[in-house]
Structure 1
Amino acid sequence: MNIDWAALGTVFGVSLVATVSLVGLFTLGIVGLSKQTAAAATGGSAPVARTGAYACFALCAAAVAYGIFLIVS
């Protein structure tokens, strides 16, 4: 049994980058929602923070949907 270490390293690297990116994007969405409540309390621009948070969540959902598409096809 031969293991293709280069391919295994590539899969590991891509998985690591994708995981860190998705977690970071989701974290930005959570931070955006928390800033939205803080901005609403101080009279700031709450819609901008909410829109950015929803955009982060939409990108996360799109990335997950694309991953499921790649698995199924």
Structure 2
Amino acid sequence: MEVAVKVEVDLEKCVGAGQCVLAADDVFDQRDSDGLVDLLDASPPEARADDVRHAAAVCPASAILVKD
């Protein structure tokens, strides 16, 4: 059984750059109303962990936290 990573986003920090969506569009989206991050999957499978970690790393506002 795959162990999923846990993802949290801080909407107070998010600036709507969309880098997370480019890195993992099945985990992150942007809200139509204001462009801020919309977390689609707070527990993505381990197979997506590298992309989710990349999304967190490229977030200019450090609004994404990934827990193993």
TM-score relative to the length of structure 1 = 0.28
User: Looking at both structures, which has the greater relative contact order when contacts are Cα pairs under 8 Å and sequence separation is at least 6?
Assistant: 2
Report which of the two structures shows the higher radius of gyration computed on alpha carbons: 1
Structure 1 or 2: more helix by fraction: 1
Structure 1 or 2: more strand by fraction: 2
TM-score relative to the length of structure 2 = 0.30
